[in-house]
Amino acid sequence: MNTRCKLIRVAAAIVVTFCSVTAQEIETPAFRVGLDLWSTTGDSDWQTAFTAVDPVLGTAFGGSSLVWDDLDSEMAVVTAEVGLSSHFSLMGRYGFGSISGGVSTDSDFITVPRLGVDNLLLSESIADTGGDTVLYDIALYCALSSLFGRPASAADIGVFVGYQCYEDELNMRSGVQTAFAGESLYEPFPAPLDSDFDFKWEGIRAGALIRVPLAYRFDLAGSLAMVLEAEYEGEGYWNLRDDLRRTAPNFAQSADSGTGLELAVSVSYRPWEHLGLRLGYDILDWKAEDGRNEIFLADGSSEVMELEEVNSSRSGVFGGVFGQW
């Protein structure tokens, strides 16, 4: 059974039960469109590992990690929902923004048991990070309350299944060496750093959504979504590495058994019949393990090592306007 069929079966098995509430009936619009500003911060990291055998030193274990912190971005997010029938609707969104203020930390470690060396920090450097971020998804939503012929209730409860993609395109500049061979230091790179790394996550996304009226023209909405067997691709170009090929990318990563999770909650207010305001918080998180990291060398050959773990996250407050008819 292929991945998409597995995920659709998982989506069909998701059941979310909410406490009963007594309030006015939620209106289901035939068409809804919105524009939000999502003030986000993000983090990403990956870690690789290798094993080498030397006739003199014996077995050595090494690894590299690259961590990006405080990847702040003000994202514009366009949302839309189109009613297909009384039970089904099509939902989608597209968000984009520029990343500013981030910091990357690049570290290399080694362990040589025969020499008594345990997790020695061979090298560490930091750099300023900027770039761009993109998020988009589309899903088919099913309103369970109406599908099963229940009477009009206070809450609109349903499930959805669809596709999601998230990308960070990062650029690192102003590099500073902060450790070498276990010794701390602070030395700016002698040549300008201008390196890139791109994260891309995608997969089938499924979850549940509830909309509950709080008071006159005020609604509370919450959603929980999961992505199983998510696919990850990463590409990097290090401009100061003479041992790597001079064309991008000079290393590539992949993993096909990742997971994704998104949790969102918002409050909306409609002062007018067709126009409203909303405010909320959205958390997005991706993770994968046991992947592949391939390095392309200057002599035309390549080396492969294990991608132990890779993570990306983005979260923050959003607010905006929407119209519904």
Domains in the chain, number? 1
What string of DSSP letters covers 28-49? --SEEEEEEEEEEEEEEEEEEE
Question: Can you tell me the distance from the alpha carbon of 169 to that of 183, in angstroms, rounded to the nearest whole number?
Answer: 32
Rounded Cα distance between 212 and 223, Å, is 12
Separation CA 145–CA 88 (nearest Å): 11
pLDDT tens for the chain, 325 residues long, are: 444 444 434 344 433 323 233 233 344 558 999 999 999 999 999 999 989 888 888 899 999 999 999 999 999 999 999 999 888 999 999 999 999 889 999 999 999 998 889 989 999 999 999 999 999 999 999 998 766 665 555 688 999 999 999 999 999 999 999 999 989 999 999 999 999 999 999 999 999 999 998 888 899 999 999 999 999 999 999 999 999 999 999 999 999 999 999 999 999 999 998 999 999 999 999 999 999 999 999 999 999 999 999 999 999 999 999 999 8
111 Cβ contact partners less than 8 Å away, ≥ 6 residues apart: 60, 61, 62, 117, 118, 119, 120
Report the CATH number at residue 129: 2.40.128.90
Structure tokens that stand for 22 in this block? 């007594």
Q: 211 is in which domain, residue-wise?
A: 3-324
What are the phi and psi torsion angles at 56 (to 5°)? -95, -50
Distance CA 128, CA 16 (A): 43
